[in-house]
Amino acid sequence: MTKTRFGIVLLSSLALCVNAQTESGFVSLFDGKSLTVGRARQKRRRLWSYQWRIYCAREEAETCSLRKSFRFHLRLQFKLEPDGNNGVGIRAPLEGDAAYNGMEIQVLDDKAPKHATIKPWQFNGSVYNVVPAKNGTAKIGEWNDYEITAKGRKIKVVLNGRTIVDTDLNDVHDPATIEKHPGIFRDRGHVGFLGHNDYVEFRNIRIKELPG
Domain ranges of the chain: 9-15+23-36+44-209
What is the distance in angstroms between the CA of the first residue and the CA of the last residue of the chain? Answer: 37
Query: What average pLDDT does the segment 58-79 reach?
Result: 72
Q: Tell whether the model's pLDDT for residue 201 goes beyond 60.
A: yes
Q: Tell whether the model's pLDDT for residue 136 goes beyond 60.
A: yes
Q: Which residue has the higher pLDDT, 193 or 173?
A: 173
CA 86/CA 84 separation, integer angstroms: 7
Q: Which residue type is seen at 58?
A: R
pLDDT band at 205 (very low <50, low <70, confident <90, very high): confident
Architecture of domain 9-15+23-36+44-209: Sandwich (2.60)
Secondary structure of 23-39 as H, E, C letters? CCCCEECCCCCCCCCCC
Name the least confident of 105-114, 154-163, 164-173, 194-203.
194-203
Q: Which residue has the higher pLDDT, 58 or 151?
A: 151
Determine the pLDDT at residue 97.
86
What are the tens digits of pLDDT across the range 19-64?
Answer: 344 688 888 776 655 543 323 333 333 444 444 556 665 555 555 5
Determine the pLDDT at residue 69.
64
Going by their DSSP bridges, the two strands 154-159 and 144-151 should be labelled as antiparallel
Determine the pLDDT at residue 6.
32
Determine the pLDDT at residue 39.
33
Determine the pLDDT at residue 48.
44
CA 182/CA 96 separation, integer angstroms: 12
Phi, psi angles (nearest 5°) of residue 97 = -90, 115
pTM listed for this prediction = 0.81
Written as one string, the DSSP assignment of 96-145 is S-HHHHSEEEEEE-TTSGGGTT--GGGSTT-BTTTB--SS-PPPBTS-EE
Query: Residue 179: enclosing H or E segment and its boundaries?
Result: helix 175-180
Name the least confident of 71-75, 105-109, 158-162, 196-200.
196-200
Q: Is the dihedral of CA 108, 111, 116, 122 positive or negative?
A: positive
